[in-house]
Amino acid sequence: MKVLVLTLGVFLMPFVAAAAEADAGRFQLEKSGDHFVRLDRQTGAMSICQDKDGALVCRMAADERAAYEDELDRLAKRVTALEQGNVAQRALPSDAEVDRSISIMERMMKSFMGMVKEFQAEENTNPLPQKT
């Protein structure tokens, strides 16, 4: 079992390394005055980064922040509309709908019980032979 795991690990190492290299090339940093501009090469998003206490802290650029806020507002309105729509859908069915559903279930049960009685009558007229 250990040999299988080690063999599998050896064969998968190049793929893991290639994936790590792809992520490493995803972002590009450019120095701009006292801060850095980080470009995400996959999405095109730009962030402004500053060195604070030895750690690089990034925040969205102003135009992206506005787009982000607009998207949040749009999604909040959509959630509100969906929640209000669900209240109407949760309304109880009318008495006529309940009566119709019950009559359908009654007919189905009567039909099912009729089939059961037919099988019982057939079994009583044609008993199975005793094999013991």
* Judgement on whether residues 73 and 88 belong to the same structural domain of the protein: yes
pTM attached to this predicted model:
0.33
Q: Which pLDDT belongs to residue 109?
A: 97
Question: Rounded to whole angstroms, how far apart are CA atoms 111 and 105?
Answer: 10
Residue type, 47: S
Ranges of the chain with pLDDT below 70: 1-23, 63, 86-90, 132
Task: Please state the domain count of the chain.
Answer: 2
Could you give phi then psi for residue 55, rounded to 5 degrees? -120, 140
Q: Residue 42 has what pLDDT?
A: 81
Domain housing 32: 25-59
DSSP strands (E only) in 16-84: 27-32, 35-40, 46-52, 55-60
Does 109 fall in a domain? yes
